[in-house]
Amino acid sequence: RKEVEQDPGPFNVPEGATVAFNCTYSNSASQSFFWYRQDCRKEPKLLMSVYSSGNEDGRFTAQLNRASQYISLLIRDSKLSDSATYLCVARRSQGNLIFGKGTKLSVKP
């Protein structure tokens, strides 16, 4: 089983839609979790951290369920500029980060 697994998509949604991405992780010792955004042929950029209590930043909400080892990202009122690949990330006990392969989102007019 891969350490971090995501549905690769693509998710094709119209502008204004709400879209949810899910991710599972295999190492119950993982302590920190993140969502990164990566545009085509660019470096990943930190979108937000993920906490058990939930984390909201504008139209984006991230949630962690430790019991199920499951992480989610919800995007409300999708914009064309949200089109990108979203990477689910977990921190290993050694301190380095393990990245999922990413979920591609395409928002259409």
Give contact residues for other proteins (rule: CB under 8 A).
Answer: 8, 31-32, 34, 36, 41-46, 49, 87, 89, 91, 94-102
Least distance from other proteins to the Cβ atom of residue 87, Å: 7
Exposure class string for 12-47: b at 16+ Cβ within 10 A, else e: ebeeeeebebebbbeeeebeebbbbbbeeeeebeeb
Please state the closest distance from residue 105 (CB atom) to other proteins, in A. 16
Q: Which is nearer to other proteins, 44 or 78 (CB)?
A: 44
